[in-house]
Structures are given as C-alpha cells and as structure tokens.
Chain A
Amino acid sequence: MKKNIYIIIAVLFMMHASTALAGVADTKHNLSSGSSFTYKSATETEVCKFCHTPHASIADTPLWNHKNDVTTFTRFSSATLVVDDNAANPYGYLDADLSGASKLCMGCHDGVTALGALSQVTISDVSPSNYLTATDLRNKHPVSFEYKSGGSNLWGVLDGGVKAGKYGLPNNTVNNTINNPFVSEKWRREGERVECTVCHDPHENKADAADAALLPFWVSSSITGYDSHDSVCVACHNPSFGEYTAFGEYSSL
C-alpha cells in the first residue's frame, strides 16, 4: 500500500515535471538545440540545465585547502530542480534581499548573457511602518520582498532616498480570485515573498502567441484585453480593496 503511494507520488511528480518541460520547451528560455528561437545551443539537447544546475557527484578537492569540507554549493541548484533548498529558512542570510527564484533569474539577466534589469529593493525589517528603498521605482517594479500572511498591508516607499508615498497592498485575506498572488501556490512556495515569478512564469511565455499583447513570460490567464496585464497588477494594487489603493498615500490604516 505504502509502495503504491510512492509510485503515485513519483508519477505525479513526473507529470508535473514533464508539464513544465513541455511549457518551457516552447519559449525562448529553451536554450537547447531543439529550440525554435534564435538564440540557442548548437548541439546541447538538454533544456533544464541552463537554469537548474545539476548535481556534480565528484567534488574536486581544492589543492590549497585540503581541510575544506564543503562539497556542494547548494543554492537553488540541486538535482531535483528545487529553487529553495531549505524549507525552514529558504533565504537565510539573504532574507531581506533578492532571493530564491529572483536570484536565479538575475543570474542570467545581467546585461551581458541576457538583457534585463530590475529595481533593487532593500527592506530592513518587515512591519507596516518600514520603508522599501529603491534607486528608481519609476520604471521597474520592486521584487524580492516579504509579504506574509497577516503581515503588513501598507508599505512606505523611498525613491532615491526621498519619501515617495505609501503603497497600499491588499490584505491577503481579501478574496480576490483574479490572479491573486497572495493565494497562489507560487507565492507560498517563494516563502510568501514577491519574487519575479509572481508576475512572470519563466516556463511559459504566452507573449509568443500570435495575437498576444503581453509582457514577456507574463502570468495572466488571458492574452488580450483587460485581463492580459491589469488583472495581475490589480491583484495587489486594487481600489476595490477600499482603503487600499494602487499608489495612494494614507495617513493611517
């Protein structure tokens, strides 16, 4: 009986993995030779390895430091393709920084290997009175900050060191079903943090569809019309949440 359960779990996992693979294979994140996109490897057939580092079973011993007992560098790079390698403290020392999946994204999107930039955000502590700081919030959305269940729902924002108002975020118990990142599996898997993957799905690019009007790898359920972009934005920034609006400033909660 127990054995059957393991088999079922294994099959389910494989189904999940193959679904993800089928998705990413049709995007420009497929850098293998089988990709239908411009930039790809000439001969490499594996799809996953370009983002998810496989385990190297035989570690080299550093000749200048035989006492070093570190055998793997386990940042989102295990053989099981799990981004977070420590469920209890997935981000550890980087708790208030770019982390998890976002770090994986920016590992390639560095301006050279792949283009792309983001507004770097730092948070000293997580509470309603604290301020997000960013060098420039005018054209990049901040990523990699914590939004926990029962946590804060009003963020102060410093733009270039100057107070740029407060951003109202929905209470995450609000029943907003349209792409609500705060009920999504992705958000929870990211340790209840807003990472790149809350708005972008690196494994699926609906923007590639012929009639799509979408940002690259956008998560929305539809590819045209209102739902295509705004539905994702208003999941957090929504006037209908009453006291919480998109970008308005509030004197009190």
Chain B
Amino acid sequence: MNFTTKTCSTGLFLFFFIAALFFQGCAGSLKTEEIFVVEADLNWPPFPLKPRIKYIRSIAMPSDIAIKEGKGWLGRAFDYLTGGSLLEGTPISAPYGLFFDSDKKTLYVADRARKGIHLYDLSKGKAETLEAVAGEVFEMPVAVAVSGDRIYVSDSGFKKLLILDLEGNLLKEIDRWERPGGIAISKDEKRLYVVDVLACRIKVFDAEGNFLFDFGSKGEKAGEFNLPSNIWVDASGKIYVTDSMNFRVQIFDESGKHIISIGKLGDSPGYLARPRGVAVDSEGHIYIVDAVFDNVQIFNPDGQLLLFFGGSGRGPGEFYLPSGIFIDEKDRIYISDSYNRRIQVFQYLKEE
C-alpha cells in the first residue's frame, strides 16, 4: 500500500516537473538577433575597405534552424515523445523564389526539386513543407510571396497562380498564363505583380487576386521584354523586372511607365549574362543575381555599379547557379543558392 502511494506521488511529481519543462520550452522563441547569428566573418568589399555587405548564415535543412539552446534534455525528450518540436519539413533542394515574413520570422522558399513550398519558422525552430494544395501536388513551384494571411505561389509547370491561406488551403486559383514566373507585393500590400514569362507581360492584381491591369510586350525597346523572369517592388512603389533574354533589368513606375534600364550583355563587372532575381534595399540600391557569374551585383538607381559579391563555389558567400533574392525591411538579403541547395543570408551595412 505504502509502496503504491509512493510510486503514485513520484509519478505525479515527475509529470508536473516534465510539464513545467515543456511549457518553459514552448514559451521561449528566439529573438531576431539569435536567429541571425553570424556564422563566418566575410565582408565585401574586404578589409581594409569599409564593409558594405556582411555574410550572416546559410539555411539548408530543418536542423539548421532547430533551436538548440534553452531546453534541457528532459524537455527535449518530452518534446520527442509528444511530438512537440519534431521537424516535419524537408531539406531545401532546388530553391528559386523566396520570401521572408518579418512579423512571423518565417522564411518561405519555392523548391522546384522538392516540388513544394518550405515554411521555415526561424523563431520557433520549426519547419514545414507544403507539397500539395487541395489534393493536387505542385509541379514546378518557382515563386512565393506572403501578404497578411495569404500565400501566393506561381507554378510554372501547372501554369497557375495559387492563393492559399497560411495552412496551405486553396483560396483562389488564377489560370490563363503562358508561364507564370516571379511574384512581388507592394509594400502597402494592395497590389500583386506577377510575371508572365512567355507572354512578356506583367500582370497586376489586388490582394484578393482580382485583375487590375497589365503592361509590357515582346521586344527590345524600353518597356518591352524578352522572357522576363523575376520582379520586385520597392518601398516607393517602383517596379523592377529582370528582362532575362534582353540581359537587363527594367524599372517602371507604379503605373507601368518605363523609367530606366540597367545592364547589358557581357562578361565584365557591371554587365549581365544570366540575370535572375532582383531586389532593392532600404536605400534604393539594386541587387541583381547572375547565374553565370555566380554573384550579386549592386547598382545605384542610375545604373552605376557599386559593388559585387559572391563568386563560384560551395563555401560561405559563394554561389552555384543562384536564382531568387529577397531583401527584408532590416536590409537582410536572402539568396536562393540553387545548386548548393541552400539559402544564404547577408546584411547590407548602412553608412552611419
């Protein structure tokens, strides 16, 4: 009798003890500075020049973002038994378009080889991979963007633009594309811009996916495209389109009126060979990813070359057929390093 009681009370004590550990673990989520701990000391331009771009870290698989500190082994064991922090996401395989939601601290990555959208929640250390919508698997998801409680995905294989809720349920499906490519959302989140690669047009929608207007046609003159691929909208509403086979980036005002074109075909700094992702930081610098040069070139709004960083290779700060780029409001630069199967994160350093 005595023996049973003792066992019971010990059991009860252990239960509360473990429960306390578990909830302690749950309550903690990483702060931004903990997520972006610098993994290697790399700067461009290199010392002794004043650094403008700093390498932060790379993310390749769910274990890269797992929260390693802050929980005892008992808490982790409890999590394991209850499924508390099991990583359900898959490693990144062939990333292209990507988006970082600063509020939720979640990185969204369109992965052509995994045929899915990765959701890497960096603050909670949890990853999920969305592989099917309404029972249909993705064919070639190439771009993703998030606004409020909506996820926008373009699938170049299915020729569809999908609007999903945050759980991955289908809200709306937009077809009639020749081949949908890059997606961008205006900062006021009222406009959605999507590239139709083969039609050489930029289509503009409201946040619900209602068509507003479109612009562009096939050609080489200003405002004309030859296989446009990626797109960005800056804080002032200006639209940046990678005009891939005209080897340039074109810039438009929010009505689609051409302002300036940057870059031309060549193999030297300041030229472009296979331009892909384009993005703009908080000071208006234009970042253009190039898959042949395996680097990122930074231009000022007049199209003058400021700096380039990267180069071919597998190490930190090196690229291997890079593709998409995203810059968040803190000027952190996320780049899909496609054939290195990872996302690399950099920081633009403002002048003080």
Interfacial residues, chain A to chain B (CB-CB below 8 A): 31, 39, 41-44, 49-50, 53-65, 67-68, 70-78, 92-94, 97-98, 103, 106-108, 110-113, 115, 117, 120, 135-136
Contact = CB atoms under 8 A, between A and B. Distances in A.
Given A53-B292, A112-B142, A106 B312 contact: no
Contacts of A94: 312-313, 320
A39 B298 CA distance: 30
B202 interface: no
B4 interface: no
Contacts of A67: 45, 49
Contacts of B218: 41-42
Contacts of A59: 268-271
B261 interface: no
B279 interface: no
B95 to A, nearest CB: 11
B106 interface: no
Interface residues of B, number: 60
Q: Which of B96, B268, B321 has the most A CB atoms < 10 Å from its CB?
A: B268
B49 A112 contact: no
A39 to B, nearest CB: 6
Nearest to B339: A98
A108 B265 CA distance: 15
Interface string B327-352: 00000000000110100000000000
Interface in B247-278: 265-271, 273-274, 276
B267 A55 contact: yes
Contact of B267 (A61, A73, A113, A136): A73
Contacts of A49: 265
B308 interface: yes
A113 to B, nearest CB: 5
A56 B157 CA distance: 35
Given A41-B220, A94-B320, A63 B305 contact: yes
Contact of A44 (B94, B156, B226, B314): B226
Nearest to B51: A64
Contacts, number: 166
B162 to A, nearest CB: 16
Contact of A62 (B219, B230, B269): B269
B44 interface: yes
24 contacts: A31-B245, A42-B218, A42-B219, A42-B226, A49-B265, A50-B245, A55-B266, A55-B267, A56-B265, A56-B270, A61-B305, A62-B270, A65-B44, A67-B45, A74-B267, A75-B293, A97-B314, A97-B339, A107-B292, A110-B321, A111-B112, A111-B157, A112-B142, A112-B179
Contacts of B269: 59-62, 68, 70-71, 73
A82 B176 CA distance: 40
A186 B142 CA distance: 32
Nearest to A73: B293
Contacts of B174: none
B229 A112 contact: yes
B129 interface: no
B113 to A, nearest CB: 6
Contacts of A75: 292-294, 312
Contact of A111 (B140, B227, B265, B270): B140
Contact of A64 (B182, B290, B291, B306): B306
Contacts of B308: 62
A108 B268 contact: no
A49 B272 CA distance: 12
A218 B338 CA distance: 26
Q: Which of B96, B267, B271, B292 has the most A CB atoms < 10 Å from its CB?
A: B267
Contacts of A76: 292
Contact of B156 (A55, A103, A115): A115
Contact of A112 (B181, B295, B300): B181
B321 A103 contact: yes
A54 B271 CA distance: 11
B113 A43 contact: no
Contact of A73 (B96, B268, B307, B314): B268
B339 A106 contact: yes
Interface string B296-324: 00101000111110001110000011010
Contacts of B182: 112
Contacts of B292: 53, 73, 75-77, 107
